[in-house]
C-alpha cells in the first residue's frame, strides 16, 4: 500500500515536470554525461534496448538511430512523459513508448540486449527490486547501464533532497554495485563520468549555491554503474 502511494506520488511529480517541459530540457543537462556511456555500450545494429525512466524520450530516439535494425523502447511511470515522448518520436519507426514501473517491467524475461537508465534510479521506491527486474528482462549476455547524478560519493548534490518533494535514495557507488551483485550481475563496474560542460561565471538556479559549487559538482562527475547478465 505504501509502495502504491509512493508510485502515485512519483507519477504526479513527474507529470508536473513533463507539463513544465522538463522532459525536453533535460536533454541539454544529461547529454554530456550520456555520450561517453553510449560510446562504452557497444550497441549493435540489431540490439533491442530498454530505457527505464525515459522521460521525454530524447535518449530513446538517440538509441534508435544507433540500432537501425533493432528497437529502442522507452518506459516511464509518468504517463505525461510517455505521451510526449511518443508524440516527439513518431518519425522514428523503431521506437516504442510504454507506461510502466521498474518494479514490474511489463515485458517477458530475456526481452532485451541492453537496458539503460539515466537519472532515474535514485527515485525508485525500491532500487534493489528495480535492479532485479532489469536483470530479469535482460537476455543472458546482455548488459545494464545506469547513470546517476545523485549519489553519496559526490558531496555537491546532497542538498537536492531538500529541494525535491519526493524521497530519494542517496547510495554510494559501492552500494549500487552491491545491488547489481545481489541481483546476479557479473563484470560489475562503477566509474565516474566527468561533465565537460563549461560552467557559467554566475549561477542563478536553485540546485547549487553558486557557480563554484556547480563546477565542483561537475568535476566530481556522474556515477555510471554497469554489469552483465551471465551467459
Ligand X SMILES: C[S@@+](CC[C@H](N)C(=O)[O-])C[C@H]1O[C@@H](n2cnc3c(N)ncnc32)[C@H](O)[C@@H]1O
Per the DSSP assignment, residues forming a β-bridge with 73 are 50, 96
Is 102 one of the binding residues for ligand X (CB under 6 A)? yes
Please give the helix or strand (H or E) that residue 21 lies within, else none: none
- The residue among 106 and 141 lying less far from ligand X, judged by its C-beta, is 106
User: What is the nearest approach in angstroms of ligand X to the Cβ of residue 179?
Assistant: 14
User: What is the nearest approach in angstroms of ligand X to the Cβ of residue 230?
Assistant: 25
Provide the 3-class DSSP secondary structure of residue 144: strand
Is 211 one of the binding residues for ligand X (CB under 6 A)? no
Is 9 one of the binding residues for ligand X (CB under 6 A)? no
- Among 149, 147, 187, 151, which Cα is nearest to 169's? 151
Phi-psi region of 118 (alpha: psi -120 to 50; beta: other; left: phi over 0): beta
- The residue among 12 and 187 lying less far from ligand X, judged by its C-beta, is 12
Grid coordinates representing 162? 531538500
Please, are residues 14 and 165 in contact by the beta-carbon 8 Å criterion?
Answer: no
Is 101 one of the binding residues for ligand X (CB under 6 A)? yes
Half-sphere exposure of 186 (CA within 13 A, CB side): 6
Site mask, ligand X, residues 61-90, x = CB under 6 A? ---------------xxx--x---------
Q: Which stretch binds ligand X (CB under 6 A): 35-43, 113-121, 180-188, 198-206?
A: 113-121
User: What is the nearest approach in angstroms of ligand X to the Cβ of residue 118?
Assistant: 4
Provide the 3-class DSSP secondary structure of residue 75: strand
Positions touching ligand X (CB under 6 A) are 10, 14, 26, 30, 52-55, 76-78, 81, 101-102, 118-120, 123-124
Amino acid at each position: 500500500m505504501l509502495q502504491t502511494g509512493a508510485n502515485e506520488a512519483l507519477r504526479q511529480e513527474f507529470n508536473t515536470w513533463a507539463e513544465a517541459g522538463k522532459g525536453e530540457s533535460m536533454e541539454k543537462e544529461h547529454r554530456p554525461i550520456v555520450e561517453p556511456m553510449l560510446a562504452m555500450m557497444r550497441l549493435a545494429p540489431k540490439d533491442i534496448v530498454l530505457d527505464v525512466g525515459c522521460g521525454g524520450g530524447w535518449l530513446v530516439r538517440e538509441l534508435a538511430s544507433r540500432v537501425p535494425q533493432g528497437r529502442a523502447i522507452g518506459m516511464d511511470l509518468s504517463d505525461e512523459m510517455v505521451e510526449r515522448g511518443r508524440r516527439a518520436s513518431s518519425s522514428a519507426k523503431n521506437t516504442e513508448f510504454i507506461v510502466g514501473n521498474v518494479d514490474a517491467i511489463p515485458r517477458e524475461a530475456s526481452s532485451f540486449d541492453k537496458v539503460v537508465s539515466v537519472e532515474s534510479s535514485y527515485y525508485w521506491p525500491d532500487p534493489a527490486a528495480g535492479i532485479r527486474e532489469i536483470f530479469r528482462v535482460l537476455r543472458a549476455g546482455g548488459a545494464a547501464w545506469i547513470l546517476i547524478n545523485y549519489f553519496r560519493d559526490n558531496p555537491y548534490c546532497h542538498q537536492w533532497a531538500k529541494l525535491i518533494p519526493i524521497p530519494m535514495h542517496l547510495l554510494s557507488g559501492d552500494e549500487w554495485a552491491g545491488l547489481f551483485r545481489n541481483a546476479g550481475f557479473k563484470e560489475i563496474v562503477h566509474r565516474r563520468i566527468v561533465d565537460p560542460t563549461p560552467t557559467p561565471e554566475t549561477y542563478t538556479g536553485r540546485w547549487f549555491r553558486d557557480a563554484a559549487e556547480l563546477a565542483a559538482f561537475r568535476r566530481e562527475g556522474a556515477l555510471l554503474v554497469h554489469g552483465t547478465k551471465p551467459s
